[in-house]
Amino acid sequence: MGFSYYFGGDIIFSSKRARILKAFFSTILVVFFSVMLFQSMSTGTNDPQNKEPLYSNSPVPTNQNDNIPGNEPVEEEPTFYLTNSQRYFEDLVSKGSTNILLLGTEPTGFNFDTIMVLSVDEAEKQVKIISFPRDIYIDYSDYVIDALRKAKPSYLKEKGIYRINAVPSIGDAIGYQKNTGRFGRPYVDFIADIINEVFGIYVNDFAYVRTSGFRTIVDYFGGVTVYVPVLMNYNDPYQDLSIYIEKGTQHLNGRQAEGYVRFRQGFDENGEFHNYGDIFRKQNQNRFIKAFISQHVTLKNLTKLGDIANIISSNVITSVK
C-alpha cells in the first residue's frame, strides 16, 4: 500500500551508545515524523495508489459494547460500532507494540492532514511509521451519522466527511466521549478509536504538532546538508508556501527544509511543470531524516536536551509523559 516506513539498524541500536541516545532521539522523532507527511502540503491530483480501497469489508466478529475509559484492550479485537464493520485486511503493527498517534492540521484549516502512527516494537528492536493517506474512506455506522445529524447537520452536506482527515473534526463536532475519553479531547479520542476499529492499532498516546516546530528544530541545529535530486521550484500563496531549492547537495535552514519535505510538484529549469508524485516526496523525506540523524543525533548533542524539550513543549500537545 505504500504507507509504512520501517527503520532498522540505523536507528534502533543494541549498543550502550544507543541506550544513552534513546531519550534524545525519541524526543526528536516525535516532532519530525509528526510533520513529515502533511498530505495537505501536496497540491494537485491524488496519486493513483491512494484511489484504491485501503480497507476490507470482510465480516469480522464484533460486539456492540462501548469502550470503557481505563480499559486498554491492547491484545483484544476492537469494538465495532463507529463503522459498519470496516476492517483493514492485514495487521500493520506487531502485537504488544507501543503506538503513538501523531496529528497535524493543514496550514489553512482544521483538517488533520497528518495522521500517522509511530509504532515501537521493543521485542524486535524496530520503529515503524505508518502514514494514513488523507483520502482513506471511512464507512461510518448509523450511530455516528445520527450523532452528527443531531450535532452538526450541515456536515452531512460536505463531500469530504468520509475521508479519514475529517475524522477528528467529526469527533469534535459530536462531542465524542466528552469528559470520559482517555485523552480528554473528543477529536483525539475519536480518531484513536477509528484507527483501532479499522486498522486494529490500539493507540497508547498521542502528539499534536504545529508545523513551526519542524522549522525551529532544524534551525536550532544549524540546518541540514542533504542532496536535492531536482530543482524544487513551487509557489502557492494560499498555503503560504514558497519553495526554491537548487539541484545538488545543499545546506538547508528550517524553512527550506520544510519545503524540501513538502515538495512533490513544480517547475524545472526550462519552466516546464512536473508532478513528481508522492513516492518521490517520500524518498526525499527519508533522505532528509537519515541526513538529520547522521549529522545531529550525537553524544555531543545530549547537552541540548533541555533546549529541545522547551521547543517541543511550545509546539506540541501530547499525552506522552
For residues 121 and 142, what is the distance between their CA atoms, to the nearest angstrom? 36
Considering the domain architecture, whether residues 74 and 126 belong to the same structural domain is answered as: yes
CB 280 within 8 A of CB 232: no
For residues 185 and 239, what is the distance between their CA atoms, to the nearest angstrom? 27
CB 169 within 8 A of CB 191: no
Considering the domain architecture, whether residues 69 and 166 belong to the same structural domain is answered as: yes
Considering the domain architecture, whether residues 61 and 185 belong to the same structural domain is answered as: yes
Q: Give the domain-ending residue among 173, 190, 209.
A: 209
User: How confident is the model at residue 197, as a pLDDT?
Assistant: 96
179 SS3 class: coil
User: What residues have CB less than 8 Å from 26, skipping those under 6 apart?
Assistant: none
**Which of 31 and 296 is assigned the larger pLDDT?**
296
**Which of 226 and 157 is assigned the larger pLDDT?**
226
Give per-residue pLDDT as tens, 128-146: 878 888 789 999 999 999 9
What's at 272, amino acid-wise? E
Q: Give the domain-ending residue among 191, 209, 227.
A: 209
- Total count of residues recorded for the chain: 321
Considering the domain architecture, whether residues 190 and 226 belong to the same structural domain is answered as: no
Give per-residue pLDDT as tens, 255-285: 999 899 889 899 999 999 999 987 788 788 8
> CA dihedral defined by 228, 237, 113, 232, rounded to 10 degrees?
-10
User: What residues have CB less than 8 Å from 158, skipping those under 6 apart?
Assistant: 166
User: How confident is the model at residue 103, as a pLDDT?
Assistant: 85
Q: Mean pLDDT throughout 64-82?
A: 52
For residue 152, count CB atoms less than 10 angstroms from its CB and return exposed for 0-12, middle for 13-18, buried for 19 or more.
Answer: middle
Name beta bridge partners: 271: none
Considering the domain architecture, whether residues 157 and 12 belong to the same structural domain is answered as: yes
User: In which domain, by residue range, is 46 found?
Assistant: 4-209
What's at 30, amino acid-wise? V
Give per-residue pLDDT as tens, 283-308: 888 788 788 878 887 777 777 877 87
Q: Give the domain-ending residue among 193, 209, 225.
A: 209
State the DSSP H helix or E strand holding residue 290, giving kind and residue range, or none if neither: helix 277-296
For residues 78 and 93, what is the distance between their CA atoms, to the nearest angstrom? 14
Considering the domain architecture, whether residues 141 and 68 belong to the same structural domain is answered as: yes
Considering the domain architecture, whether residues 65 and 201 belong to the same structural domain is answered as: yes
DSSP 65: P
Considering the domain architecture, whether residues 276 and 137 belong to the same structural domain is answered as: no
Considering the domain architecture, whether residues 181 and 119 belong to the same structural domain is answered as: yes
User: How confident is the model at residue 37, as a pLDDT?
Assistant: 39
User: How confident is the model at residue 105, as a pLDDT?
Assistant: 67
If we measure between CA atoms, which residue out of 22, 13, 205 comes closest to residue 116? Answer: 205
Considering the domain architecture, whether residues 191 and 233 belong to the same structural domain is answered as: no
User: Where residue 248 sits, what CATH number does that domain have?
Assistant: 3.40.630.190
- For the chain, how many structural domains are there in total? 2
For residues 93 and 128, what is the distance between their CA atoms, to the nearest angstrom? 8
User: How confident is the model at residue 219, as a pLDDT?
Assistant: 94
Considering the domain architecture, whether residues 82 and 190 belong to the same structural domain is answered as: yes
Considering the domain architecture, whether residues 160 and 266 belong to the same structural domain is answered as: no
